[in-house]
Amino acid sequence: MDNKDKLILALDTSDIEEISSILNDVSPPLNIVKIGPIAFLPNSEKIIEIIHSKNLSVMFDFKFFDIPNTIKNSLRFLFEINTKIFTIHSLSGPEAIKTVSEELLTLEQELGIPKPEMFAVTILTSFDKNQLKSIGLEENIDENVLRLVELSIKSGVDGVVCSGEEIELIKRNFGDSVKILVPGVRMENRNDDQKRIITPKEALIKGADYIVLGRTLTEEPDKKKRINDIIKSL
């Protein structure tokens, strides 16, 4: 896979005109866009129309966390919007993940469309040790990540979402049995809500299969130059 195809653009704004402008600047070369509640809920039909007009794939980042049947009955929509990747929370549990995995195969056969890859979210990159402790998780971040990754792999996920700090930990313990997607990727350190960050080049060297570019790209005045600089740095 070409390195540019490992890059995912995060659309974290509700302004549909801004979304359209960003996509005009960076697609091509980027081919996958991440949409979550901020971008999708106010603009559902329009944003899908724009994405489809540019022949882009979707990372549907809603971090499904519900009873198995509810998640199962939400999956057909993912096939309709050209979803390449979607996220589910590992704390949904083995039953939910297994149910989703089986339903994806059923829909793939029924619709004749390749199923999207399911990536499990472990510990959010905005969390640090103190925040984990505040919600009752006494183990350190690494221990919690490993436990949730193992559960997710056994339940049938294609990949896991983790911070750059956990890439080597996961590779060391699970090898190539699971793909790795890394958010919180930056060209430089900044003071904001992402506690555990890494540069794009570092993430790929450590073994990430996909990396998500958000504010490090979308807040730049010259986005075309920025994305070209990022690709050259890889």
> Is the pTM here over 0.85, yes or no?
yes
Return left, alpha or beta for 118; rule: phi > 0 is left, psi -120 to 50 is alpha, else beta. Answer: beta
Cβ–Cβ contacts within 10 Å for residue 145, how many?
22
The residue count of the chain comes to: 234
3 state DSSP class of 95: helix
Of the candidates 6, 46, 54, 63, the residue annotated as catalytic is 63
What span, in angstroms and rounded, lies between the C-alpha atoms of 123 and 139? 12
Q: How far apart are CA 6 and CA 8, in angstroms?
A: 7
pLDDT tier for residue 100 given thresholds of 50, 70 and 90 = very high
Structure tokens at 127: 């969390």
> How does pLDDT run across 16-53, given as a tens digit for each residue?
999 999 999 999 999 999 999 999 999 999 999 999 99
Q: Is 63 annotated as catalytic?
A: yes
The answer to whether 29 touches 224, Cβ cutoff 8 Å, is no
Each residue's pLDDT tens digit, 129-163: 888 888 877 778 888 889 999 999 999 999 999 88
Fold adopted by 3-233 = TIM Barrel (3.20.20)
Give yes or no for residue 171 having a pLDDT over 90: yes
Distance of CA 231 to the CA centre of its chain: 19
